[in-house]
Amino acid sequence: MAIDYSGPVRQTTGWWERALCAQIGSEPFFPEPGRTPVDAKKICQSCEGRVECLEYALTHDERYGVWGGLSEEERRRLKRA
């Protein structure tokens, strides 16, 4: 699954231009079932757009993949807190 940086994302954010996922591709950020997102999380930790990415994911209820360094379950827990 590729991250689409057009449409509403492009209109409301600027983080996608400096996001490391845009440079390396989305595969690590959407691991196959049963695989861990460890590699994606490592990439996110050094990404300049990490905070904005996480804010986007929480605001737009992104349910799949790693966004802003957090997995689906981690984002659900954050929203509940």
For residue 1, what pLDDT is reported?
A: 45
For residue 16, what pLDDT is reported?
A: 81
Binding site annotation covers 65? no
What parts of the chain have a pLDDT lower than 50?
A: 1-2, 5, 7-11
pTM of the full predicted structure? 0.79
- CA–CA distance, 60 with 46 (Å, rounded to integer): 23
Q: Is 46 helix (H, G, I), strand (E, B) or coil?
A: coil
Binding site annotation covers 18? no
For residue 11, what pLDDT is reported?
A: 47
Taking only Cα atoms into account, the Rg of the chain, rounded to an integer number of angstroms, comes to 12
Q: How confident is the model over 29-44, as pLDDT tens digits?
A: 999 988 999 999 999 9
